[in-house]
């Protein structure tokens, strides 16, 4: 008998397991490799929406919680996860420079937007209008995080590497039975896999596929993350991650030729040195209609919870939202109505 079963070990599952471990709760995790979002993510944490120069939802608060969360994880797992990385937004025009100035004066944004226009000093990049620098940004190595966390759970005997079999789930008054495990509660953190969950598939998860290509460009010599029509993110050893796109119709995890071509065209408009493509990855972001997480208790089954909707900012959102779910369950603290899955219950649940 354990306190919890957690289904899914991406950013959502990991951040919830961390709440459980910190609070001495017992649990088992069931996960498979049907979804790849946390494995292929760029891992950037950046509180600013770079299209409109506005702050992302609750970003300042989330950043504070996330920084401590990943530092604690680095110490616990004995690995480096958090790489400080300036994000440079390439300007397309003088108008954009002016919009940046206006935005950098606003309360909240002033902490993150450097007012000084950064001139381009890299001959391999075309950026005649220079850049705006976003401060306090960085990158979490999410692939390393997932594999190290899996290993951590495996060593403790807490991990079942299998697809969750809904036919093996039995609901009782005081908990759930799954095979030989009895748990008081079950948390579904399946990313886009939620679509196959018969208990929660009424929730309006949209899903947005994204792909990155990896290039090797020895002459590029860029150490910052550059945002133009695509992100160019340095990964070390002259390798850069380039992307990602947003695709609504294809919900597979397979990289495609057409996206690769599209990303290359965008890249060539900015990068002027030689490079070759050395890899490509794809995954489906768990996005929601209103772009907010979807968290809470099942409307009918009190022992079931959902932790989903991390969309395109899972690195920032994960730690604070998981903590909210934990305190909601254990301490009866109310969920922020913005993220409560109950906001969809009336409309979609029959």
Out of 73, 203, 220, 244, the only residue in the binding site for ligand FAD (CB under 6 A) is 244
Contacting ligand FAD within 163-192 (CB under 6 A): 163-164, 189-192
| Segment 2 to 31, residues that bind ligand FAD, using CB under 6 A | 7-13, 30-31
Q: Does 315 bind ligand FAD (CB under 6 A)?
A: yes
Greatest pairwise CA separation for the chain in angstroms: 67
Alpha helices in the chain (DSSP H): 11-22, 37-40, 59-77, 94-104, 142-155, 257-268, 314-331, 345-348
Nearer Cβ to ligand FAD, position 145 or 335?
145
- How many residues line the site for ligand FAD (CB under 6 A)? 42
Query: What is the rounded CA–CA span in Å between residue 160 and residue 40?
Result: 22
Tell me the C-alpha distance between 217 and 38, whole Å. Answer: 25
Here's the x/- map for ligand FAD, 94-133, by CB under 6 A: it reads as ----------------------------------------
User: Per rule CB under 6 A, is residue 47 in the interface with ligand FAD?
Assistant: no
Q: What DSSP string runs through 131-156?
A: EEEEPS-EEE-HHHHHHHHHHHHHHT
Binding span for ligand FAD by CB under 6 A among 59-67, 173-181, 222-230, 309-317: 309-317
Can residue 312 be called a binding residue for ligand FAD (CB under 6 A)?
yes
Backbone region of residue 5 per phi and psi (left: phi > 0; alpha: psi in -120 to 50; beta: other values)? beta
The stretch among 49-57, 103-111, 219-227, 308-316 that binds ligand FAD (CB under 6 A) is 308-316
C-beta separation of 297 from 208 below 8 A? no
Interface with ligand FAD, residue 313, by CB under 6 A = yes
Q: How far is the CB of 111 from ligand FAD (least distance, A)?
A: 19
d(CA 149, CA 134): 30
Helix (H) or strand (E) holding 169: strand 169-171
What is the contact surface with ligand FAD in residues (CB under 6 A)?
7-13, 30-35, 37-38, 40-44, 163-164, 189-193, 196, 210, 212, 244, 283, 285-286, 308, 310-316
């Amino acid at each position: 008998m354990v306190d919890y079963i957690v289904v899914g070990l991406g950013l959502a599952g990991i951040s919830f397991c961390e709440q459980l471990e910190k609070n001495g709760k017992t649990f088992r995790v069931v996960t498979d490799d049907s979804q790849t979002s946390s494995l292929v993510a760029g891992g950037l944490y950046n509180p600013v929406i770079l299209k409109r120069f506005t702050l992302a939802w609750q970003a300042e608060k989330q950043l504070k919680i996330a920084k401590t969360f990943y530092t604690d994880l680095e110490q616990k797992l004995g690995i480096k996860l958090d790489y400080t990385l300036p994000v440079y937004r390439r300007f397309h025009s003088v108008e954009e420079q002016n919009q940046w100035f206006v935005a950098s004066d606003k309360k909240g944004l002033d902490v993150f937007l450097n007012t000084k226009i950064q001139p381009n000093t890299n001959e391999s990049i075309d950026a005649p209008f220079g850049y705006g620098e976003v401060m306090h940004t960085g990158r979490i190595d999410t692939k390393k995080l997932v594999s190290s966390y899996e290993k951590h759970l495996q060593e403790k005997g807490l991990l079942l590497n299998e697809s969750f079999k809904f036919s093996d789930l039995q609901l009782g008054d005081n908990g759930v039975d799954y095979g030989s495990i009895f748990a008081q509660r079950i948390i579904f953190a399946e990313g886009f896999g939620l679509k196959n969950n018969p208990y929660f598939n009424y929730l309006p998860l949209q899903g947005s596929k994204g792909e990155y290509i990896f290039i090797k460009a020895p002459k590029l010599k860029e150490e910052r993350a550059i945002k133009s029509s695509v992100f160019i993110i340095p990964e070390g050893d002259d390798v850069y991650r380039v992307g990602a796109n947003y695709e609504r119709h294809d919900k597979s995890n397979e990289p495609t030729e057409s996206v690769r071509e599209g990303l290359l065209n965008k890249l060539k408009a900015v990068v002027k040195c030689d490079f070759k493509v050395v890899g490509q990855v794809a995954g489906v972001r768990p996005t929601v209609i209103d772009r907010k997480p979807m968290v809470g208790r099942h409307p009918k089954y009190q022992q079931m919870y959902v932790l989903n909707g991390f969309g395109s900012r899972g690195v920032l959102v994960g730690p604070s939202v998981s903590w909210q779910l934990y305190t909601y369950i254990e301490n009866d603290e109310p969920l922020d109505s913005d993220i409560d899955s109950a906001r969809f219950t009336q409309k979609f649940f029959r």
